[in-house]
Structure 1
Amino acid sequence: MANDYLVIIDMQNDFVDGSLGTPEACAIAPAVIEKARIFDGTVVFTLDTHGSNYASTQEGQHLPVTHCIKGTAGWHLIPELEEVRQARNARVFEKPTFGSTELAQWLVERNQEDPITSLEFIGVCTDICVVSNALMVKAFLPEVPVRVDASCCAGVTPQAHDAALATMSSCQVEIING
């Protein structure tokens, strides 16, 4: 029996149509929502999560756009995905940085209990948090097939999206719908 996982990265209001939103993120939202609804397996979410001290952090100094402050409207999943999360009682990983070691370790534990047959990553931003998490999980679980659905990802720019897909492909992450 298949034991597939779908990891939805940072589909939060601030990244879709908020302070760091892009037309590309808005464009992929319907496909991400549909995939989350129909996925035959375990769905988990990550949330980029910052505190009120964001501006004084390393990230805040390099990206001086306040976003995903815990508890604000921008921090929450887009409404349609929040509905999916609730309906599935899906696990959520809050992460203060690009990649989530907690997610990777949790997947290692799940794999030890019941071998994972595939891991698929979708969401935003392809060139920051998607690539960070996909490659980290690939390092933690090198024998588990990891794939990224390019049609359900958006980067900071289309060029950065394409570059991240190429990097992941070079590291044996399968790129589908690219």
Structure 2
Amino acid sequence: MSTKKILIVVDMQVDFIDGALGSKEAATIVSPVCQKIETARQNGDILIFTRDTHHEDYLDTEEGKHLPVPHCLKDSAGWQIDKRLPIAEGDTIIDKPTFGSLAFGNLLQQKYSSTVESIEFIGLCTDICVLSNAVIAKAALPDVPIVVDAACCAGVTPESHDTALAAMKTIQVNVLHQGQEPWRK
């Protein structure tokens, strides 16, 4: 059985780019993320997209009590993956109700444990959902190299982005730095 690389595109949704929780850092990574997706597709890599998914009761949830900004409400415009991203039929989309997704970890174990060469993460937010899902992937497949491309991620703040990258390094996630992040000139 041939091995494959998996590219995980985390929460590249309207609300995180230029919606309710958008930022200039998030908007800056859209183009490099699109390029990374196209390259992965050309290489025959597996693409998995995650989508933060909340419901009308969001403010009553534990997350909503700590981040009282309704965002990524299922079927809303802000919940949609940004239209600039080249999603294709056959790509996997995982709706997740919170930061990390145990369903994602289970999918990795059940479907890819014997065929995956490496897993790379890109997307939003480095310090919340990218970090959470990288930890889950590392726990699900501890012998598979996990990579995060810092230039294709953005955190809530540039400082929290850097802190999350440092934390991921300590659990043996390989952080790629291709020069400085585009918003830090």
Q: What is the TM-score normalised by the length of structure 2?
A: 0.91
> 2:53, 2:74 within 8 Å by CA — same for their partners in 1?
yes
Letter of the structure 2 residue corresponding to residue 105 of structure 1: N
Residue in structure 2 matched with residue 128 of structure 1 by the alignment? 128
Structure 1 residue 168, shift from structure 2 partner: 0.1
| 3-state SS of paired residue (2:84) | helix
Structure 2, unpaired ranges of 5+ = 179-185
Residue in structure 2 matched with residue 16 of structure 1 by the alignment? 17
Name the CA distance, whole Å, in 2 between partners of 1:157 and 1:36: 24
- Give aligned pairs, total: 174
Name the CA distance, whole Å, in 2 between partners of 1:31 and 1:144: 25
Once structures 1 and 2 are overlaid, which stretch shifts more, 29-38 or 5-14? 29-38
| Counterpart among 43, 47, 56 of residue 43 in structure 1 | 47
Residue in structure 1 matched with residue 168 of structure 2 by the alignment? 168
- Greater share of helix residues, 1 or 2? 1
Letter of the structure 2 residue corresponding to residue 48 of structure 1: D
Letter of the structure 1 residue corresponding to residue 144 of structure 2: V
> 2:147, 2:174 within 8 Å by CA — same for their partners in 1?
yes
| 3-state SS of paired residue (1:160) | helix
Structure 1 residue 140, shift from structure 2 partner: 1.0
- % identity of equivalent residues: 47
| RMSD of equivalent CA atoms | 1.1
Name the CA distance, whole Å, in 2 between partners of 1:122 and 1:42: 14
Name the CA distance, whole Å, in 1 between partners of 2:177 and 2:147: 10
Question: Superposed, which structure 2 residues align to 1:40-119 within 5 Å?
Answer: 40=43, 41-81=45-85, 84-85=86-87, 87-112=88-113, 114-119=114-119
Name the CA distance, whole Å, in 2 between partners of 1:80 and 1:95: 21
Question: Superposed, which structure 2 residues align to 1:23-38 within 5 Å?
Answer: 23-38=24-39
Structure 1 residue 80, shift from structure 2 partner: 1.5
> 1:49, 1:96 within 8 Å by CA — same for their partners in 2?
yes
| 3-state SS of paired residue (2:116) | coil
Name the CA distance, whole Å, in 2 between partners of 1:111 and 1:79: 28
Structure 1, unpaired ranges of 5+ = none
Moved over 2 A (4+): none
Letter of the structure 2 residue corresponding to residue 26 of structure 1: A
* CA-to-aligned-CA distance 1:88-128 (integer Å, 9 cap, x gap): 4211000011001111110111224x421000000000000
